[in-house]
Amino acid sequence: MFVEHLPDDRGQAHTLEAFTAALLLVTGLIFATQATAVTPLSASTSNQHVENQAEIAAGDLLATTEASGNLSAALLHYDNGSFVGATDGGGYAGIPPASHPLHDPLTEAFGDRQIAFDIDVYYPDDSSDGTGDVAMVDMGSPSDNAATASTRVTLYGDDRFGADDQHALAEDGPGRGYFADPVDGDGEVLYTVVEVRITAWQM
């Protein structure tokens, strides 16, 4: 006796469910691949944000310390060929000691943000390119996304320098190993004009 087998509706339903599940799996894999592909862009955006924040912090620090006189005081916190209290050659390897005029501003700006920084001072010099430089702070080599900010500071002949401000620039600057010489003559009025540059980057 011949019995006709009609299509099993439940079998077709299971097949359709399996196909739908496979389609969803493939779609999920494609989405995950695309999400992974934009990760470098997200990292780049994050780096740009860090760079912007570091640049703002460095610029604000220079502006506020210049206005308060702490920046000039930091430049004058120098004697016998090095910044006062420096243990790494002429400059500091990190945030200067508590007695330094920039200790508190630098701690507030960078200390709690895991941001490394260099502070370099450029001044007129008789060298071939006409510019000398000295590192006030050297925390290493900046990263590719480092930010910079700079300002100029005028130093006068009657400005006092040394650990206890015991020397005058015009009288004792060259003899006490101050990093910059007077730009014109004896420097009794204008001693020199320097550029202070902060380079900051995320550690």
Question: For the chain, what percent of residues have pLDDT higher than 70?
Answer: 75
Q: What is the pLDDT of residues 101-122, one digit of tens each?
A: 999 999 999 987 889 999 999 9
- pTM metric for this prediction: 0.76
Helix (H, G, I), strand (E, B) or coil at 200: strand
pLDDT tens digits along 24-64: 554 555 554 454 444 444 445 666 776 788 899 999 999 99
Please give the Cα distance from 107 to 111 (Å, whole number): 4
Q: Are 119 and 196 in contact (CB under 8 A)?
A: yes
Q: How far is residue 187's CA from residue 175's CA, in Å, rounded to a whole number? A: 13
The pLDDT, as a whole number, for residue 114 is 84
pLDDT at position 36: 44
Residue 195 in this model has a pLDDT that exceeds 70: yes
Domain limits of the chain?
39-202
**Cα gap 49→92, rounded to integer Å:** 28
